[in-house]
Structure 1
Amino acid sequence: MKITERRSASYPPTLWSNDFIQSLSSKFTGEKYEARSQTLKEVLRNMICEGNEMVENPLGILNLIDDLQRLGIAYHFTREISSVLENINCNCLKNHEEWSKMDLNLKSLGFRLLRQHGYSIPQVEIFKDNIDENGTVMGHLNEDIMSMLNLYEATYHSLENESILDNARIFTKKFLKQSIEKIADKNILSLIYHALDFPLHWMLPRVETRWFIEVYDKRNSMNPMVLELAKLDFNMVQAVYQEDLKQASRWWKNTCWNKFSFARDRLVENFMWSVSKNYLPGFKGRVDMTKVNAMITTLDDVYDVYGTLQELEQFTNIVNRLWQDLCNSYIIEARWFNSKYTPTLNEFLDNASMSVAMIPVIKHAYLLTLTNVIKDTLQQIERADNLIRNTCLIARLTNDMGTSLDELERGDVPKSIQCYMHESGATEMEAREYIKGLIMETWKKLNKERQDAIGSELPHEFIECVTNLARMGRFMYTDGDKHGKPEMFKPYALSLFVDPILGLP
């Protein structure tokens, strides 16, 4: 009997047993903490309303909104925040005389927040008095560091062909790097280092929240009420996550798929993907999304590692009834690998928008976001085709930047970096720089599609879900493969799902 030789990825085992997951518990549940949360929310709601009345000096309220977003509690105040931004847009940014009076810090912060919330704010009219055509900030030596940092963060909301913002990004990044040695304030230093590593617009919300709570706690101007609500809310939401994770873990154990020696046993990492799509505590689809993610991870390993081409052809015919487009994209890559074919970059990306496995995940997320599912529900998602495609490409390209060498070593189809090298004759370093640029250009397209989608009938939670998948790709694959290497992801699993934030009664 002929023994089939199979590839092995030698994936390390999971760090999280079902027994450990079932042991997770939190004291931050029940009426006591809910009552305190409601009290704090009322205080902050009044604070926002009072700030909304100070139209002549909106910097304070914009800083508060920015803090609430980064602290992960802005979802409690969506109506109030929308009212503030609409008020500022109508009274300040629609009138050139008004915005010409603003300093660079206020312009940058206002521009970022308004674009983030779907407002079509022009780059030229806002910044023409501050930034020349080469991106140089006029009078930059006289600007305080926070103005330059806020401008830097604002440039990541650029659209295609916005050269002022593109050049300003290069200028402010260089300026911030050169300023580091001159800054004594440790709080500001941490913000700069963090922004240079992870621009805020590309940052995964829940990971940002865990990090920013610690930073905010050390700020001299910290508001104790804001901080208490941020810590309390984080711990209360963590308690919800723990119950969802327990349920998902019981399901995973019962499937016995965790016993497949060739596949990644990554239940907690797949749960993180579900949290990244929708981190709100009221979302009821996290367990189902984790199931989808776990099945896709196993399917990916069947195609990438375990199956022979003949087996995969037969397997594809069987499972096509459930995962047709995804499995067809997987078999294309399997054929490339077995024939030792290196596709062009465009060939690779055309197939990768499906093989990255985001589209079936997004379709499930769309259905789970809706309160009422009608017959043509999935047809309605076609309105977001470009939004979804750009997210898929960002996720694929960031994945390749972090995992392509490991995948080639274990035996896999060439990724985008290798495809570009083969097609253009570029070195690996040159190819990586090209892919970085392609990621940036795709983010600009995503920014535009997201801006248009916010004004459409698509649910806001769904738009955020799609955008967050692009952010999740950058988080999971920056500096390596956190999905495949459990030790890399362990600190985040502990901080988000296991360890509460201390300092609360």
Structure 2
Amino acid sequence: MALPSLVASFLPSSIHHSQPSSSSSSAASSGPRFATCGLKIEDQEIARRSANWKPSVWDYDFVQSLGVDYTEDIYTEQVRRLKEEVKGLFDREMNQVAKLELVDGVQRLGLGYHFETEIKNALGSIHNNIEDAQLSDDLYPASLRFRLLRQHGYNVQQDVLQRFMNETGTFNESLKRDVKGVLGLYEASVHGLEGETILDEAWNFASKHLKDLNLDKVPTNSASNVSHALDMPIHWRPNRVEARWFIDMYEKQQDMMPSLLRLTKAPFPKLDFNLVQSIYRKELSNVARWWDELGATNTTFFRDRLVECYFWSILMVFEPQYTAFREMNAKIACMVTLIDDVYDVYGMPEELELLTDFIVRWDITDIDKLPPIIRDSFMLLYNTTNEIGYWTMREQGINPIPYLRKVWANECKAYIKEVHWYNKGTKPTLKEYVDVAVNSAGGLVMLLTSYFLTTDKLTDEGLDYVSKMPNVVHCSAKILRLNNDLSTSSHELARGDNFKALECYMNETGTSEVAAREHIRHMVRETWKRMNNRVVFEDYSVPRFERFLGACFNLARVSHIFYQYGDGFGLPSQETKDHLVSAIYEPVPLD
């Protein structure tokens, strides 16, 4: 059956959950299973809170049966030939603007991972060609050059944009007629660093004029590009999501360079997207089978978000060779969700104190002291983490379990701190809250996993460095926490949760919710600046660190995608479902 005709079968209007198959593998019996939806006898005497979590919107029968429509064997030669054609584009003589557009187009089409050397060489040459850069008084190429060089870690000074400003330190109002240039300035402005006032002014100027545009009076393609950028700038958007939109959109552009026009009309971007998507479908089928065999599809006390957790993993590290990361990180993300819900909603304070002690000690002796569901939750966390650690030890020769234990312990200490606040009625200041909540967001454990499952040179020094939450990790986790709080605060407070960032700031300052939201959004932008700074100026002594840095940025980007229009994780929004369907389930039609 053709895949598009099946789309309706796994959306909410026709949910049905599969039962664990009688042929489930024996591996499932090696750890705990969630055998019942309700509470066990020992738990029934306790009146526990409920978050009334909605069941998964995805049909697990369908997910486990996902097939592979595109295979490397069939398309290898075609892909190889098309890759060589694109490499030939990089070798051609062209002006600086054309070269920049080629790099930008290849990246946004999701093909950049094929041409890392070519992109590096092209941008290195552009960076060194100062004279050519200084000759341009056109806002669009100046902004595009700045954005791409900053993205790739070049220390480009903000002063290159100063020539578009007047004596008062603001951008010339005459620029607002140049929609393409102002859009380029807007995209460049989000690569600013702390203290860069020119980039701050660029953000304010470009944002204002793009929002003030009457999109009915500009060409359709320009209007689409402006709407897309205002919804979320490129720098904050995960590559897979951007690629799917860009493949459709860029074919319609009328003002692109001819060679890039040929590239977008050729089957390469679409075929590559579908090939990678086929890998995702196989991986998701694998982890869904694991999840179903655990009996986790039948639970109600925590969020069953296996498919969303896997989607999160795609957006963190999308390159096809990192199957091990995506499958194992999806499991880790499920454990984060499970333990978070145990602490936030299900457990009693004295039970959670005991659970925290077990996790800190990483010891299952006397585990029956815990109530059955909390005991089973810890055992699932314990077994899953150890299995991933053993796999890594076998493949890489280094044991990451001590570092994972440390990160889990820090996360659960943050959880129990929040439990104490809630039960004592404590109203922390925003700073007090953020200092704790960055650890409870779950970002560090996923980023540690991304390090040891993507590096080709794993070291104890690298594991130790990442587990101590360096600045780039802290920034990424902070953006995750703040974006999450912006989207989930209202319904979490309604069920009796701890204060979140918004409420902490409102309580501390007496300001309105509207003003508090703007303050938290400002904090997100300022944290992005600090994270940008780590790429441009920080010297990492850890070898093979580039992929991990990408994962740090992508974790922050994923939080924008999931929480832009509400809680796209806990209460999946239509936007989240649309992104997920296009990334995993629906291939790009080949013309």
Match of 2:291 among 215, 235, 252: 252
Relative distance call for 1:169 and 1:325 in structure 2 (3 A) is same
1:307 and 2:341 matched: no
Structure 2 SS opposite 1:503: coil
Contact persistence 1:115–1:157 (CA under 8 A): yes
- Comparing 481-490 with 240-249, which one deviates more in the overlay? 481-490
Give the CA deviation at 1:257: 3.0
Structure 2 SS opposite 1:240: helix
After superposing on structure 2, the runs of 4+ consecutive aligned residues of structure 1 that deviate more than 6 Å are none
1:482 and 2:582 matched: no
Alignment of 1:232-311 (within 5 A): 232-284=271-323, 285-311=325-351
Contact persistence 1:235–1:500 (CA under 8 A): yes
1:340 and 2:378 matched: no
Give the CA deviation at 1:306: 0.5
Match of 2:555 among 449, 469, 476: 469
The aligned residue for residue 579 of structure 2 is: 492
- Comparing 20-29 with 476-485, which one deviates more in the overlay? 20-29
For residues 15 and 340 of structure 1, what CA distance do their matches in structure 2 show?
A: 35
Relative distance call for 1:358 and 1:142 in structure 2 (3 A) is closer
Alignment of 1:401-416 (within 5 A): 401-416=486-501
Match of 1:166 among 185, 194, 200: 200
Alignment of 1:333-412 (within 5 A): 333-381=418-466, 385-412=470-497
Q: What does the per-residue CA deviation read over 1:405-424, in whole Å, with 9 as the maximum and x for residues that have no partner?
A: 11111111000110011111
Aligned length, in residue pairs: 496
Contact persistence 2:143–2:181 (CA under 8 A): yes
Match of 1:80 among 100, 110, 118: 118
For residues 360 and 30 of structure 1, what CA distance do their matches in structure 2 show?
A: 33
Relative distance call for 1:394 and 1:161 in structure 2 (3 A) is same
Give the CA deviation at 1:181: 3.6
For residues 44 and 335 of structure 1, what CA distance do their matches in structure 2 show?
A: 58
Q: Which amino acid aligns with 2:426?
A: Y
Alignment of 1:31-110 (within 5 A): 31-50=73-92, 53-54=93-94, 57-92=95-130, 95=131, 98-110=133-145
For residues 533 and 311 of structure 2, what CA distance do their matches in structure 1 show?
A: 27
- For structure 2, list consecutive stretches of 5 or more residues without a partner in the other structure: 1-41, 363-404
For residues 261 and 515 of structure 2, what CA distance do their matches in structure 1 show?
A: 47
1:28 and 2:70 matched: yes
Give the CA deviation at 1:133: 6.4
Q: What does the per-residue CA deviation read over 1:156-192, in whole Å, with 9 as the maximum and x for residues that have no partner?
A: 0000111111112111111122233464311111100
Relative distance call for 1:196 and 1:326 in structure 2 (3 A) is same
Give the CA deviation at 1:17: 2.9
Q: What does the per-residue CA deviation read over 1:355-384, in whole Å, with 9 as the maximum and x for residues that have no partner?
A: 001111111111101223334331233687
The aligned residue for residue 116 of structure 1 is: 151
- For structure 1, list consecutive stretches of 5 or more residues without a partner in the other structure: none
For residues 464 and 431 of structure 2, what CA distance do their matches in structure 1 show?
A: 27
Relative distance call for 1:469 and 1:49 in structure 2 (3 A) is same
Relative distance call for 1:142 and 1:191 in structure 2 (3 A) is closer
TM norm structure 2: 0.81
Match of 1:434 among 510, 513, 519: 519
For residues 139 and 294 of structure 1, what CA distance do their matches in structure 2 show?
A: 50
The aligned residue for residue 45 of structure 2 is: 3
- Comparing 293-302 with 308-317, which one deviates more in the overlay? 308-317
For residues 438 and 235 of structure 1, what CA distance do their matches in structure 2 show?
A: 37
Contact persistence 1:397–1:439 (CA under 8 A): yes
Q: CA RMSD in A?
A: 1.9
Match of 2:164 among 130, 140, 165: 130
Contact persistence 1:398–1:477 (CA under 8 A): yes
Relative distance call for 1:159 and 1:376 in structure 2 (3 A) is closer
For residues 485 and 240 of structure 1, what CA distance do their matches in structure 2 show?
A: 27
Q: What does the per-residue CA deviation read over 1:306-326, in whole Å, with 9 as the maximum and x for residues that have no partner?
A: 011111111111122242111
Structure 1 SS opposite 2:456: coil
For residues 553 and 227 of structure 2, what CA distance do their matches in structure 1 show?
A: 24
Relative distance call for 1:224 and 1:318 in structure 2 (3 A) is same
For residues 165 and 374 of structure 1, what CA distance do their matches in structure 2 show?
A: 38
1:459 and 2:549 matched: no
For residues 583 and 319 of structure 2, what CA distance do their matches in structure 1 show?
A: 13
For residues 23 and 135 of structure 1, what CA distance do their matches in structure 2 show?
A: 60
Structure 1 SS opposite 2:164: coil
For residues 154 and 455 of structure 1, what CA distance do their matches in structure 2 show?
A: 25
The aligned residue for residue 16 of structure 2 is: none
Relative distance call for 1:212 and 1:355 in structure 2 (3 A) is same
Match of 2:242 among 196, 204, 208: 208
Relative distance call for 1:206 and 1:98 in structure 2 (3 A) is closer
Give the CA deviation at 1:436: 1.1
For residues 107 and 533 of structure 2, what CA distance do their matches in structure 1 show?
A: 21
Q: Which amino acid aligns with 1:165?
A: L
For residues 431 and 294 of structure 1, what CA distance do their matches in structure 2 show?
A: 31
Give the CA deviation at 1:339: 1.1
The aligned residue for residue 197 of structure 1 is: 231
Identity of paired residues, percent?
38
Structure 1 SS opposite 2:51: coil
1:327 and 2:361 matched: no
For residues 356 and 142 of structure 1, what CA distance do their matches in structure 2 show?
A: 40
